[in-house]
Chain A
Amino acid sequence: MKKWLLGIVSLMLVFGIFAGCSNDDASKDMSEDEWKDWEGTITMWDGPRWADKDENKYHWIEEKMSEFQKEYPNVKIKLVKTPWAEMNDKLSVAIAGRAWPDIAPVDISGGSVNQNHIKQGVIAELDSYLSKEEKSDFYDNAIDAYTTDGKLYGIPTSISVHAMLLNLDIFEEKGVEPPKDGKWTYDEFVEKMKALTGDGVDGFSTYILPSYYEAWPFLLMDGGYPLNEDMTEYTFDSEEAVSGLQKLVDLKYKHKVTPESMGGQDVGGTWKAWAAADQRTVAVEPWATWAIAAAQGEKFKTNFMVAEYPTGETGEPVTIGGVGGYVMFNSKDEAKKRMTAEFMKYITSTDEQVVTAKNYGTFPARKSAADQEPFADNPQMARAQELAKHAVPVPRHENWARIDEAIQKELQLALNGEKKPAEALKDAGEAVDGIINE
Chain B
Amino acid sequence: METNTSTTRKVNQSTTRNTKTKSLWKEIYKNRVAYLFLLPKLLFFVLFMLVPIVWAFILSFQEFNIMGSTWVGFDNYITAFQSKVFKVSLWNTFIYTVVTVPAFVITALVIASLVQPLGKMSQSFFRAAFYLPTVTSMVIIAMVWRWMYNYRFGIFNYIIGWFGFEPVNWLGQSDSALPALMIMSILIPPGAGIIIYLAAMNDIDQSLYEAARIDGASAFQRWLKITIPMLKPTTLYLVILSTIGSFQVFTQIIMMTGGGPGNATETIVHVIYKTAFRDFKFGLASAQSVILFFIIMIFAIFQYRTLRDHH
Give the chain B neighbours of A269 by CB distance below 8 A.
Answer: 150
Task: Name B278's contact: one of A92, A261, A418 (CB within 8 Å).
Answer: A92
State which of A35-43, A101-109, A139-147, A409-417 sits at the interface with chain B: A409-417
Asked whether A357 is an interface residue with its Cβ less than 8 Å from the other chain, the reply is no
Give the chain A neighbours of B174 by CB distance below 8 A.
Answer: 413, 416, 418
Q: How far is the CA of A265 from the CA of B169 in the complex (A)?
A: 11
Q: How far is the CA of A409 from the CA of B260 in the complex (A)?
A: 7
Asked whether A117 is an interface residue with its Cβ less than 8 Å from the other chain, the reply is yes
Asked whether B173 is an interface residue with its Cβ less than 8 Å from the other chain, the reply is yes
In the complex, what residue of chain B is closest to A88 when comparing beta carbons? B278
Is the beta-carbon distance between B151 and A261 smaller than 8 angstroms?
yes
CB within 8 Å for A260 and B151 given contacts A111-B278, A120-B66, A416-B173: yes
Interface size class of B (residues with CB under 8 A): 20 to 34
Docked complex: B254-311 residues within 8 A CB-CB of A: 257-263, 274, 276-280, 282
Give the chain B neighbours of A92 by CB distance below 8 A.
Answer: 277-278, 280
Give the chain A neighbours of B278 by CB distance below 8 A.
Answer: 92, 111-112, 401-402
Is the beta-carbon distance between B151 and A10 smaller than 8 angstroms?
no
In the complex, what residue of chain B is closest to A93 when comparing beta carbons? B277
Is the beta-carbon distance between A121 and B172 smaller than 8 angstroms?
no
Asked whether B220 is an interface residue with its Cβ less than 8 Å from the other chain, the reply is no
Task: Name A17's contact: one of B47, B152, B171 (CB within 8 Å).
Answer: B47
- A 269-288 binary contact with B (CB < 8 Å = 1; else 0): 10001000001010000000
Asked whether B167 is an interface residue with its Cβ less than 8 Å from the other chain, the reply is yes
Give the chain A neighbours of B169 by CB distance below 8 A.
Answer: 260-261, 264, 416
Q: How far is the CA of A260 from the CA of B167 in the complex (A)?
A: 9
Asked whether B67 is an interface residue with its Cβ less than 8 Å from the other chain, the reply is yes
Is the beta-carbon distance between B67 and A266 smaller than 8 angstroms?
no
Give the chain B neighbours of A260 by CB distance below 8 A.
Answer: 151, 167, 169, 172
Is the beta-carbon distance between A279 and B153 smaller than 8 angstroms?
yes
Give the chain A neighbours of B151 by CB distance below 8 A.
Answer: 259-261, 264
- Cβ of A260 to closest chain B Cβ, rounded Å: 5
Give the chain A neighbours of B277 by CB distance below 8 A.
Answer: 89, 92-93, 96
Q: How far is the CA of A251 from the CA of B46 in the complex (A)?
A: 58
Give the chain B neighbours of A418 by CB distance below 8 A.
Answer: 173-174, 261-262
In the complex, what residue of chain A is closest to B274 when comparing beta carbons? A405
In the complex, what residue of chain A is closest to B67 when comparing beta carbons? A120
Give the chain B neighbours of A96 by CB distance below 8 A.
Answer: 66, 276-277, 280, 282
Q: How far is the CA of A279 from the CA of B150 in the complex (A)?
A: 12
- Cβ of A113 to closest chain B Cβ, rounded Å: 11
- Cβ of B85 to closest chain A Cβ, rounded Å: 8
Give the chain A neighbours of B134 by CB distance below 8 A.
Answer: none
In the complex, what residue of chain A is closest to B150 when comparing beta carbons? A269
CB within 8 Å for A122 and B66 given contacts A14-B47, A260-B151: yes
Q: How far is the CA of A10 from the CA of B260 in the complex (A)?
A: 46
Asked whether B122 is an interface residue with its Cβ less than 8 Å from the other chain, the reply is no
In the complex, what residue of chain A is closest to B259 when comparing beta carbons? A409
Give the chain A neighbours of B279 by CB distance below 8 A.
Answer: 399, 401-402
Docked complex: A1-30 residues within 8 A CB-CB of B: 10, 13-14, 17
Q: How far is the CA of A112 from the CA of B278 in the complex (A)?
A: 6
Is the beta-carbon distance between B263 and A409 smaller than 8 angstroms?
yes
- B 38-53 binary contact with A (CB < 8 Å = 1; else 0): 0000010001000000
Asked whether B65 is an interface residue with its Cβ less than 8 Å from the other chain, the reply is yes
Docked complex: B206-226 residues within 8 A CB-CB of A: none
Is the beta-carbon distance between A281 and B65 smaller than 8 angstroms?
no
21 contacts between A and B (CB under 8 A): A95-B66, A95-B280, A96-B66, A96-B277, A96-B280, A121-B66, A121-B67, A209-B258, A210-B258, A259-B152, A260-B151, A261-B169, A263-B172, A264-B151, A264-B169, A264-B172, A266-B172, A279-B153, A401-B278, A409-B260, A418-B174
Extra contacts, 9 of them, besides A259-B152, A266-B150, A399-B279 (Cβ < 8 A), are A10-B43, A93-B277, A260-B169, A261-B152, A263-B172, A264-B171, A265-B258, A273-B152, A409-B263
Interface residues of B (CB under 8 A from A): 43, 47, 65-67, 84, 146, 150-153, 167, 169, 171-174, 257-263, 274, 276-280, 282
Interface residues of A (CB under 8 A from B): 10, 13-14, 17, 89, 92-93, 95-96, 98, 111-112, 116-117, 120-122, 209-210, 259-261, 263-266, 269, 273, 279, 281, 399, 401-402, 405, 409-410, 412-413, 416, 418, 431
